[in-house]
């Protein structure tokens, strides 16, 4: 079955540590997105990529980094510069990078907590 796989489901970060969240899709979608979900805050866009080897900052990119070396993969690194990383992270994709015209497909999320 086609879909988006996020791993791990739960992740713990020690202070000063960088951690990487995995997102893989086999939908052959061009565009991929990372959102952060905080209780009572809705979803906020961290980074997005509309094509391989290209990505743009979203609304809250500080303290995060991404890469898009392969079409199917869009890993997110939460760096030590992100002072409040505890949140639920959601990866999503669309066929052509137009989520206003296309359905967003979401993974099942990764819960990141600070030890």
Partner 1 sequence: GNSVTQMEGPVTLSEEAFLTINCTYTATGYPSLFWYVQYPGEGLQLLLKATKADDKGSNKGFEATYRKETTSFHLEKGSVQVSDSAVYFCAQARGGSNYKLTFGKGTLLTVNP
95 scored as a contact of partner 1 (CB under 8 A) = no
Given the complex with partner 1, which of 58 and 79 has the nearer CB atom?
58
Angle at 44 between CA 38 and CA 46, to 5 degrees: 115
For partner 1, the binding residue among 32, 66, 87, 90 (CB under 8 A) is 90
Question: Which residue from 80, 110, 89 is spatially nearest to 33, judged by alpha carbons?
Answer: 89
54 scored as a contact of partner 1 (CB under 8 A) = no
Given the complex with partner 1, which of 86 and 96 has the nearer CB atom?
96
In the region spanning residues 1 to 30, those forming contacts with partner 1, defined by CB under 8 A, are: 4
User: What is the size of the binding site for partner 1 (CB under 8 A)?
Assistant: 23
45 scored as a contact of partner 1 (CB under 8 A) = yes
Using CA atoms, how far residue 96 sits from 6, 46, 51, in Å, is: 20, 19, 9
75 scored as a contact of partner 1 (CB under 8 A) = no
Which residues of the chain form contacts with partner 1 (CB under 8 A)? 4, 40-45, 48, 50, 58, 90, 92, 97-101, 103-104, 106-109
């Amino acid at each position: 079955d086609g879909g988006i796989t996020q791993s791990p489901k739960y992740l713990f970060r020690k202070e000063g540590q960088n951690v990487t969240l995995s997102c893989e899709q086999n939908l052959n979608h061009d565009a991929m997105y990372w959102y952060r979900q905080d209780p009572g805050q809705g979803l906020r866009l961290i980074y997005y990529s509309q094509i391989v080897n290209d990505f743009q900052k979203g609304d809250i990119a500080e303290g995060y980094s991404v890469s898009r070396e392969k079409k199917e993969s869009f890993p997110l690194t939460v760096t030590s510069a992100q002072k409040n990383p505890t949140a639920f992270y959601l990866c999503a994709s669309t066929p052509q990078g137009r989520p206003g015209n296309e359905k967003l497909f979401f993974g099942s999320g990764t819960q990141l907590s600070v030890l």
